[in-house]
């Protein structure tokens, strides 16, 4: 009997030692947007415990993800420190992809590179733009990840920030299409006011009247129908359902309002989303205040 008990205890120890890591707590902490350093510290401990392959990759991309937030919290004047944390985040993502390729690994690699580029300046980081798109192409086309609001947002910001031809491949219409799908795929458990704000600002700046929208969106629908690559197809997402389609924030068809009218409606919708939630992160509050300031300026 004693031997049996000892064998059972040994088996129990082995089971605990090789139990899969549980990310529930660290993911919940991350979503609060208030404990980034604690999340980072917990993940570094988990990295030592992780088995090779998928489990290790899942720790590494989470470390890459939290590096984006840690970098964002650093004063913008301290570029050296911001570069360092974004580069660290990029390396975690590269290690994650090497251990086990996942959509999240590619996403957070691009997010850290994007933040690095924003810190450096658009014209000083043009060389990083094309590789970012290639990584997102792997994520979206090869791995079939179409429901990542974050990935579409990265593409929207990238295409909106870059200069157009012949210098680079910036394109405001593609940026708006990517911004629309980014808004349409926002998960239910987050607010992402900044995503709505980004789309509204891009529409405000494009400033098409209703007639031009009707014409151009109809052209986009034809391109949407013929493209096969997802990353190319979604450059025309604005025309996916034609000019008579209704975006989720209004019962007015796309062809029946101007860009600037829709921009205001989007911001009001984002306000309503915020006000309908019981809990908010500091980022949610900051976005809400910026949206309120924009509405005051535009109306």
| pLDDT per position as a tens digit, 266-288 | 999 999 999 999 999 999 999 99
| pLDDT per position as a tens digit, 45-85 | 999 999 999 999 999 999 999 999 999 999 999 999 999 99
**Chain center to CA of 31:** 14
Instruction: State yes or no: pLDDT of 220 exceeds 70.
Output: yes
- Compute the distance between CA of residue 266 and CA of residue 258 in angstroms, rounded to an integer: 12
- How much is the pTM? 0.90
Q: Are 60 and 96 in contact, with CB atoms under 8 Å apart? A: yes
Share of the chain above pLDDT 70, in %: 94
Report the C-alpha dihedral over residues 241, 176, 268, 297, rounded to 10 degrees.
-140
- Compute the distance between CA of residue 116 and CA of residue 125 in angstroms, rounded to an integer: 8
Mean pLDDT for the chain? 93
- Compute the distance between CA of residue 48 and CA of residue 169 in angstroms, rounded to an integer: 41
Q: Can you tell me the mean pLDDT for 155-169?
A: 94
Identify the H or E element spanning 194. helix 193-206
Q: pLDDT value at position 19?
A: 64
DSSP structure string for 117-180 = HHHH-TTTSGGGHHHHHHHHHIIIIIS-----HHHHHHHHHHHHHS--TTT----HHHHHHHHH
- Compute the distance between CA of residue 174 and CA of residue 158 in angstroms, rounded to an integer: 10
Instruction: State yes or no: pLDDT of 197 exceeds 90.
Output: yes
Angle at 274 between CA 42 and CA 158, to 5 degrees: 70
Q: Which residue has the tokens 């989720």?
A: 248
- Compute the distance between CA of residue 198 and CA of residue 101 in angstroms, rounded to an integer: 29
């Amino acid at each position: 009997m004693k031997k049996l008990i000892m064998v059972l205890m040994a088996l129990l120890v082995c089971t605990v030692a090789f139990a899969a890591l549980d990310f529930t707590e660290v993911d919940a902490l991350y979503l609060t947007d208030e404990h980034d350093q604690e999340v980072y510290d917990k993940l570094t401990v988990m990295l030592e415990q992780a088995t090779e392959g998928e489990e290790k990759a899942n720790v590494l991309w989470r470390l890459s993800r939290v590096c984006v937030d840690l970098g964002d919290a650093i004063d913008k004047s301290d570029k050296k420190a911001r570069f360092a944390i974004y580069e660290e985040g990029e390396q975690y993502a590269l290690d994650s992809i090497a251990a086990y390729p996942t959509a999240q690994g590619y996403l957070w690699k691009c997010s850290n590179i994007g933040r690095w580029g924003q810190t450096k300046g658009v014209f000083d980081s043009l060389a990083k733009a094309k590789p970012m798109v290639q990584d997102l192409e792997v994520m979206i086309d090869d791995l079939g990840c179409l429901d990542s609001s974050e990935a579409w947002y990265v593409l929207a910001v990238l295409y909106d920030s870059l200069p157009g031809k012949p210098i680079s491949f910036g394109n405001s219409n593609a940026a708006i299409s990517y911004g629309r799908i980014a808004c349409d795929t926002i998960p239910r458990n987050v607010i992402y006011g900044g995503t709505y704000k980004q789309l509204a600002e891009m529409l405000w700046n494009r400033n098409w009247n209703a007639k031009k929208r009707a014409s151009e969106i109809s052209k986009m629908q034809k391109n949407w129908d013929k493209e096969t690559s997802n990353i190319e197809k979604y450059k025309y997402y604005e025309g996916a359902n034609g000019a008579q389609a209704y975006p989720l924030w209004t019962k007015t068809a796309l062809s029946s309002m101007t860009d600037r009218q829709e921009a205001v409606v989007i911001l009001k919708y984002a306000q309503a989303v915020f006000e309908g939630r019981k809990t908010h992160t500091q980022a949610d509050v900051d976005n809400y205040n910026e949206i309120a300031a924009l509405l005051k300026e535009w109306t």
